[in-house]
Structure 1
Amino acid sequence: MTEQGDPRGITLIVIAKEPVPGRVKTRLTPPYTSEQAALIAEAALADTLDAVAATTATRRVVALEGRPGAWLPRGFEVIAQRGAGLDERLANVFADVGGPAVLIGMDTPQVTPAMLADAGRRLSAGDAVYGPAADGGFWLLGLRDPDPRRLRGVPMSRPDTGARQLERLDGLRVATLGTLRDVDTAGDAVRVAAQAPGTRFAAAVRAGAR
């Protein structure tokens, strides 16, 4: 472990799904086609991985459902997701990687290296770090000492997911980050693209809207 407040020594995890048409971002269709939705998902994943790669994290991991593709940069370990529901898969990812670790998804391409570095610093100085999402879920979760019981059984993809997850962190020193919008719907995609106009994601959204 590094000095208190130093983000180095933190593992950064991206939990992701292979961007295959018809299997990712299905709520973007319509107005986008399945192929366009997959390209938008791939762009979001690539932007997210770029942000992770630009941090000082000692270890970078992709917890993947599917197979790696050309979107995977060098310097990342790839592990397979395990479990049925998302709560089990998240719990297993933290257990497989070990702590301290910060986990994000592939749905917030507006994330920056500075945001991730801040999460790492806060985790180094506490027990947990939590990033709330605008839809009531969370876009980031960090745990110093991952315990699967902190995640298993938390209802996912609901307006109260974030509140239920925070209940599981009771008794820990939790640092809360700013709220981000994750990309679930076409409306989300347009809003996030406007927030991060120079990203691959924004370019993919604009191309799909033509």
Structure 2
Amino acid sequence: MRRTLVIMLKEPRAGRVKTRLGRDIGMIGAAWWFRHQVARLLRRIEDPRWSVVLAVAPDCALGSRAWPARFQRTAQGRGDLGARMARQLRDMPPGPVCVIGGDIPGITRAHIARAFAALGNHDAVFGPAPDGGYWLVGLKRSRAMPAGLFNGVRWSTQHALVDSIGSVSGLSVVQVDVLRDVDRVQDLQ
């Protein structure tokens, strides 16, 4: 079965993407940073061992020229971050699926490969971030997805990882590398 890496992306428009970072460096600067960060990320993580799918928001931005045309695209759809990630995990073709964001400067192919490898012996994988969130979530998908996947998660807090792990009760969970995502100007340093 084919491995799928889904990258959750917002169209890089000022005031609509990386707004917490935008409060520190300006909304135009935050949108510029995100667009260029994603371009670097896509070059670093493209690999024949997995398919890359761009999950785009807003849904009307599927045809946006902000992202390279060579990547398959899908709409994120409605709901909070958890509902949108759960939809991607559920709707991809058969096989293991990992979901990441576009704001992880330190990510490499080796990080992604370790996450997929971890799904060989576990049902779920998380890549923790130092702030209590996470940069990656993945499911083996050999069992039914938990009905309450990502329900009650306190997003954008230090509880996001713990809450998300709690939402996959009954599945075997492993954590891989700790990587930093960028939410504020301090994260850029």
TM-score range (shorter-chain normalised) is 0.7 to 0.9
TM-score normalised per structure 1: 0.79
Q: Deviations over 1:137-175 (max 9, x none)?
A: 111000011625322332211211110111122332222
* 1:55 and 1:117 in contact (8 A); partners too: no
| Corresponding residue for residue 130 of structure 1 | 126
| 2:40 match: secondary structure | helix
Tell me if 1:52 matches 2:45.
Answer: yes
| 1:149 match: secondary structure | coil
Which one of 2, 18, 21 corresponds to residue 25 of structure 1?
18
Tell me if 1:87 matches 2:82.
Answer: yes
Report the alpha carbon displacement of residue 73 of structure 1 after superposing the two structures with TM. Answer: 5.2
Which one of 128, 136, 142 corresponds to residue 140 of structure 1?
136
| 2:158 match: secondary structure | coil
Moved over 3 A (4+): none
| Corresponding residue for residue 148 of structure 2 | 149
| 2:148 match: secondary structure | helix
Change over 3 Å in CA distance of 1:72–1:155 after alignment to 2: same
* Amino acid paired to 2:173: V
| 2:99 match: secondary structure | strand
| Corresponding residue for residue 111 of structure 2 | 115
| Corresponding residue for residue 62 of structure 1 | 54
* 1:83 and 1:92 in contact (8 A); partners too: no
> What runs of 5+ residues in structure 1 fail to find an aligned partner?
2-8, 192-210
- Comparing 116-125 with 62-71, greater Cα deviation is found at 62-71
Distance 1:63 1:128 in 2: 20
* 2:96 and 2:116 in contact (8 A); partners too: no
| Corresponding residue for residue 41 of structure 1 | 34
Seq. identity, %: 36
Structure whose residues are more often helix by fraction: 1
* Amino acid paired to 1:44: Q
Distance 1:83 1:30 in 2: 25
